[in-house]
Structure 1
Amino acid sequence: MTFFPAVPAMPSRLNLALALALAATPALAAEPADDETETLDTVVVTAAPVSPLTFVTDPRLPRQPVPASDGADYLKTIPGFSALRNGGTNGDPVLRGMFGSRLNLLSNDGSMPGACPARMDNPLSYVAPETYDRLTVVKGPQTVLWGPGASAGTVRFQRDTERFDEAGLRLQGSLLGGSFGRNDQVLDATVGAPLGYARLSANRSQSDDYDDGDGDGVPSEWKKWNADLALGWTPDADTVLEFTAGSGDGEARYAGRGMDGSMFKRESYGLRFEKGGFQGALKRVQANLFHNYADHLMDNYTLRDPNPMSSMPMPMASNVDRRTQGGRAAADWAWNAFELSAGVDAQRSRHRERSAMGRGAYRELPWSEDAEFRNLGLFAEATWTLAPGQRVVAGARADRAEVSDHRATVSMMGMGGMMSMPNPTAGVTREKTLSGGFLRYEHDIADSGFGWYAGLGHTGRMPDYWELFSPDMGPMGAANAFAGVEPEKTTQLDIGAQYRSERLDAWVSAYAGRVDDYILFTYSSGGMMGSMSSVANVDARIHGAEAGLEFRPAAYWKLGGSVAWAWGENRSAGTPLPQMTPLEAKLTAAYDGPRWTAGVLVRAVDAQDRVAVGQGNVVGRDLGSSAGFVTVALNGGYRFNDRLQLTAGIDNLFDRDYSEHLNLAGSADFGYPAMPVRIDEPGRSVWVKLGFKY
């Protein structure tokens, strides 16, 4: 991984937060010898691969821009990732222009897909990055171990097993204050002994509406909290049995939606078992079960006033929930030159909804179940070492996917607008058997520090809830989206190279793929009823590249950069594929000394004129061409000792007024014009963070 820290800022709005932070330091701030000072907690700007196509970082580390409030925001430290912006929080992650369940998003190796038909509560909106120990990303269809689909990549937010050689306490946390009322608190406490442990991970995050670079307010306030408890039994060094339970809630205001999120209630339970230390070829067995529940409320009256000129002039609320249960069992074997992981995973998810006019009236209505998803998968992944530094990695999986439509009625366009009609697919279950796999060659040349890889992967992906149940219309000739949308099939070639030396690390990766039956949304005006959506399958092709480097010219100094580019085409129509991220580059310079850190980040994003206006996905659509922009950020810090560190930063130093290409159009409820206008990003903002360990 490559971390680049930066230059301190002393914002006037943060005097109180900074004073409190400094007041807490005397008892812990004894000056250590230089060789005793930890140098790990540098500010994360961008990450480099630790192995072909695999990125691993610590989401607890300070980050520039201002530390992330959700999982999608933190992913942007990895080249190739961006987010479909909502405003303040809960953006939807995008990798190489690919969105939704093309990304397999896991927390503690469990799935929590969210419930909103428009993904207001996407899976990573329930993830507080700083409460996890590790973020692991595998790009492309280059692993089969963690669930079906995953044509764009696999994302895992993980907590590590806590082990104790003797009874003790471990404590870690942080306090953050920033512009626009931003304030976060994080606490991670573990008490344990050789036979077991108890761990509490909790956070709270809050922000007010922000001002853009022109000083205009953007509705974007949020408030959220999470708390998770883990109880572990460790009878020996090779065994762990762990039970987890967690809860959370929050609210968020959105400048680009007709409703806000007034509840993001989460309940999570898990059970995990791992056993190693076997004699012979069998090395480890592992199994986990998870139960995740999302209860999400959207309304137009808690965080805003109803707009009498909109399609929802009166108070209205929509309550949706989703219960997802599943598990996984796998075993690892190893022989002289051959390693194998194989197992089975399963998942069941059911979705319900209810809605009503009037404040709180929805509570009096019964739930109506509309969809149920089931999946059973078998997988195997093997590594064959041909010679020192030469490996062949291969995997295969098969999935039996089922989707049931429980809607009694559906909304359809009639002569008088949207009307409720009997559902022609009520009670119907669709079943598909899907396959996937990959083959990759890796070659490391130890003497020169150079290595390269090439891999070919294929995966079939069942359409998700948002593709089958959210569109107003399905493909031409189909009764609805549920009846007509076919699974996606992605075949992709990934190649890349890495170089490592005492002073220089560099890497490059490229990909080219073909997507058959790509699932594409098209939006059209519904007049007074707002925008109408339809969905269809098209054939597409994609390609792109990412690269990065870090140069260390002298002790404590680092110069670095990264670049990411993605391209897509709708082969069926000969037009650009929508929602493709523009060319983006980051340049960094940093000093990371025993106590002081300082640095600068320059982010440059090119204009994007390859667009398909009115087409996209369930959340966003291409609004037209977008302008490029350049922003500058500074950050820095001081380590009082290996237990206490203060970091601070200034984002958007020159108060640039700009917006991201992947964006929602501003809602008329907040005065945005009828013609789609992208939501601007925050103007100059400052933050200070105190991190501590014990």
Structure 2
Amino acid sequence: MRTRFSHLPVPVLTPVALAVLAWPVALLAQTPEAAAAPASDDATYRVVVTGAGTGSGQPLTVVTDPRQARQPIPAQDGADILKTIPGFSVIRKGGTDGDPVLRGMAGSRLNVLLDGEQILGGCGGRMDPPTAYVFPDAYDRLTVLKGPQTVIHGPGNVAGTVLFERDRGDRPTRPELTGNASATVGAFGRRDILGDLQYATPDFYLRGTGNYTTSGNYKNGDGNTVHSAYERWSGRMALGLTPDDNTLYELHYARSDGEAAYADRMMDGSRFDRESIGLRFEKRNISPRLRKLEANVYRNYIDHVMDNYSMRALKPGAKPALSNPDRDTVGGRVAATLQLTPATRLVTGLDAQSNQHTLRTGTDYQSRPRIDNAEYRQLGVFGEVRHEWDDTQRLIGGLRVDHWKADDERSTPGLATAGASRSETLPSGFVRWERDIDQGQGTVYAGLGHVQRFPDFWETVGGNRFSETGNSAFHTRPEKTTQLDVGASWKGERLSASVSAFYNRINDYILIRSTPAPAQVRNIDASSHGLEAALSYALAPQWTLDASLAHVRGKNRTDGTALAQQPPLEGKLGLNWNNGTWSAGALWRLAARQDRVDIGKGNIAGQDIGPTPGFATLSLNGSYRLHKRVRVIAGVDNVFDKTYAEHLSRAGAGIPGYVQTSRVHEPGRTWWLKTTVALD
């Protein structure tokens, strides 16, 4: 692997190593009295997340702290952390930058926002989905809203909405310095470091966040090396003005870059240069009727380079090849929260975005002009209301309308849609009933949602795929999804549990066919249904049992076949012990055989390869609290060193020096160690 970022500071991990050496000594030296001592105040804090949790207590909503260590090895990008939540899978292509899948839906069917901003990758082959630009430890909160059950976070949330967010914190009464840091080391050269520091006064705050992560090629359970190395860094600065308790102005600037080797294709990503700037305004408690006014504008620019020579050896007879796409996205949102009556609250506003995609190729690309190939513009208006019917029941509903316009700016000779434009006005909406039961300990709900999704860049222009009637997919019809969601959640002193089920019908589902050539995009009718269930049970004051189950089944109603790229039935069982100072845990993950496939068909991120056998893996972890603010956590994943591949995996490519496999294999036995420090 190249070391283009070798000039960046690498953490000195001597304290971590000392902690590892001290751990078994301290454990052996612990007296019986100390072992039996009551747990400290934070004994219930889940040091390592092995179970899935049961959500936030709100229907179809999962809220979690992305900084908590998780198994498998602590996440290094957004897809890594999402796969720990029931219902999520990841289309794997190597060590990083997998494409997240929720309830069998991938790509633009899953709306991903970073601090309220939409970031769209530059690669036509999905090297960089939005989650590729996320380092989870740099965020304070991760929220997942499942299903088409909200309209206030942008268009197209067929599967759901994912929000990676940073808290602004309360306005302090006097100057204060807060922050946190973490460092991770692991097998196969894994190294992470993060620092997050904020200085705040009653009048302003300044927050800086930086991280660096790298890994070498990992090995599968058979000891074969997988082309999977990566290296990336990112930094963000935010200046906030807080003239009073109810007012905020924030300006932020972020920059990141990286490189990644892929086991599934003939090129690697040698640059993922991202630049972001944004301005945010919030005003609360303006009047008894107008509770909040918020606005933000942003620009995200992605400059991406992929090539076949900088991170791998050229195949005999092959020539160096390079592609340099970029994408410039400008967007904004304005929303007002209105208290219409004591029981009724309305959030209404508008959002918009415009993104331009260009491309240039050749190893001398820097001297060549960029060529526009597509532009997309969207303007949406929305309103979402919450009405408290009585003390135990509520209705939530919303409507939005989005106007889209797209231009095919390709100039390929003979291309049927070169220079063409199209526009659509698409409605979406939902209504949900919720009822609290058992004196507020539980909630039951039922919701019906409808969303119309405009075809994205990858489905219309990226990949230069054909349609059923010509050599361009630019005029692919929008998807129209209608979905029913039902479920229940309950939280008691010892048991927390949740279950959610869904059924949908999708007209004009956009199906990608990769083989036989030429690749094709077509609209079909489809349906899918599934469920997620999770529970957490306190077996004893220091022992907790976690379990989860996720299942989805899709059907291509047009062809009478299975809907491609659907994950298998998956279950997790976790057992955790925590006395506040020490903790230990085990996670058993089981995936069933998946033989409902439609080979060569799928979505913009991957296509079915064939059936996959089931598998099971075991992971173990333990931690020691060195200090009130310092904890050392260690773990071993894939304890039995199994050789396996996820069903939602890309096919392995023939790369010189590596064993080609039908699917990209997962890492073999992997050890890791993470240290966290709270500075507040």
| TM-score by shorter chain over 0.5 | yes
Q: Which residue of 2 aligns with 1:214?
A: 222
Matched residue type, 1:522: R
Instruction: Give, in angstroms, the shift of residue 685 of structure 1.
Output: 0.5
Residue 4 of structure 1 is matched in structure 2 by: none
What's the CA shift for 1:201?
0.9
CA distance in 2 between partners of 1:684 and 1:463 (Å): 41
Matched, 1:164 2:168: no
SS in 2 for 1:329: strand
User: What is the identity, as a one-letter code, of the residue corresponding to 2:674?
Assistant: K
- 1:501 CA displacement: 1.2
* TM-score, length of structure 1 as denominator length: 0.91
Deviation at 1:35, TM superposition (A): 4.5
1:192 CA displacement:
1.4
Q: 1:458 to 1:187 in 2, by over 3 A?
A: same
In 1, Cα distance between equivalents of 2:198 and 2:13? 32
For residue 118 of structure 2, give the secondary structure of its aligned residue in structure 1. coil
Is 1:284 matched up with 2:276? no
Alpha-carbon distance in 1 for matches of 2:15, 2:556? 51
Instruction: Give the Cα separation in 1 of the matches to 2:22 and 2:443.
Output: 47
Is 1:379 the counterpart of 2:379 in the alignment?
A: no
Please, which of 437, 454, 457 is the counterpart of residue 462 of structure 1? 454
Structure 2: state its 5+ residue gaps.
1-11, 24-33
Q: Please give the alpha-carbon distance, in whole angstroms, between the structure 1 residues aligned to 2:440 and 2:272.
A: 51
Match of 1:412 in 2: none
SS in 2 for 1:217: coil
Question: What is the aligned counterpart of 2:467 among 461, 475, 478?
Answer: 475
1:653 is the counterpart of 2:639: yes
Which residue, out of 397, 400, 404, partners 1:397? 400
SS of residue in 1 equivalent to 2:69:
coil
SS of 1:524 mapped into structure 2? coil
Q: Paired residue for 2:327?
A: 322
Contact 1:106–1:157 at 8 Å: present in 2 too?
yes
Deviates more, 1:116-125 or 1:440-449: 440-449
Taking a change above 3 Å as real, the CA distance of residues 181 and 655 of structure 1, as seen in their structure-2 partners, is: same
CA distance in 2 between partners of 1:353 and 1:446 (Å): 59
Query: Any idea what the Cα deviations from partners look like across 1:301-339, whole Å, max 9, x if unmatched?
Result: 100012136xxx101100010000100000111221111
Which amino acid in 1 is paired with 2:393?
Q
In structure 1, stretches of 5+ residues that fail to align are 1-13, 26-30, 410-420, 527-531
**Residue 244 of structure 2 corresponds to residue 236 of structure 1:** yes
Per-residue CA shift, 1:172-218, capped at 9, x if unaligned? 01011100000100000001111110000111000000010111110
Does the CA contact (< 8 Å) of 1:60 and 1:130 recur in 2? yes
Does 1:513 pair with 2:513?
A: no
Match of 1:430 in 2: 422
Q: Name the counterpart of 1:19.
A: 17
Match of 1:339 in 2: 345
Structure 1 residue 602 corresponds to structure 2 residue 588:
yes
Shift of 1:282: 1.1
- CA offset digits 1:76-115 (Å, max 9, x no partner): 1110001000110000000011010001111011011101
Matches within 5 A, 1:120-159: 120-159=127-166
**Contact between 1:85 and 1:660, CA under 8 Å: does it hold in 2?**
yes
1-structure distance, mates of 2:526, 2:488? 26
Instruction: Report the Cα distance in structure 1 between the residues aligned to 2:13 and 2:119, rounded to whole angstroms.
Output: 39
Conservation of the 8 A alpha-carbon contact between 1:378 and 1:398: yes
- Separation (CA, whole Å) in 1 of partners of 2:633 and 2:460: 46
3-state SS, counterpart of residue 654 of structure 1: coil
Change (3 A) 1:487 1:37: closer
Aligned with residue 684 of structure 1, among 663, 666, 669 = 669
Match of 1:62 in 2: 69
Contact 1:17 1:177 in 2 (8 A): no
Q: Write the distance in 1 (CA, Å) between the matches of 2:459 and 2:358.
A: 16
Shift of 1:266: 0.5
In 1, Cα distance between equivalents of 2:205 and 2:439: 44
How far 1:638 moved relative to its partner?
A: 1.0
Q: CA deviation at 1:234?
A: 0.6
CA distance, structure 2, for counterparts of residue 301 and residue 682 of structure 1: 24
Q: 1:226 — aligned with what? A: 234
Partner of 1:205: 213
Within a 5 Å distance, the mapping from 1:519-534 to structure 2 comes to 519-526=510-517, 532-534=518-520
Question: Are 1:308 and 2:316 an aligned pair?
Answer: yes
**Superposition CA RMSD, Å:** 2.0
Alpha-carbon displacement from aligned partner over 1:578-621 (angstroms, at most 9, x marks no partner): 00000000001101212111110000000000000111122311
Q: Name the CA distance, whole Å, in 2 between partners of 1:394 and 1:37.
A: 38
Residue 362 (str. 1) matches residue 360 (str. 2)? no
Shift of 1:15: 9.8
**Equivalent position amino acid for 1:201 in 2:** T
* One-letter amino acid of the counterpart of residue 632, structure 1: L
Shift of 1:468: 0.2
Q: Is the 8 A contact 2:416 2:470 kept in 1?
A: no
Matched, 1:352 2:351: no
What amino acid sits opposite 2:319 in the alignment?
A: M
Quote the residue 1:568 is aligned against: 554
Partner of 1:187: 195
Read off the aligned partner of 2:558 and give its amino acid letter. Answer: S
Deviation of 1:260 (Å): 0.2
**What residue in structure 1 maps to residue 483 of structure 2?**
492
- Report the Cα offset of residue 281 of structure 1: 1.4
Amino acid at match of 2:417: T
Q: CA shift at 1:667, angstroms?
A: 0.9
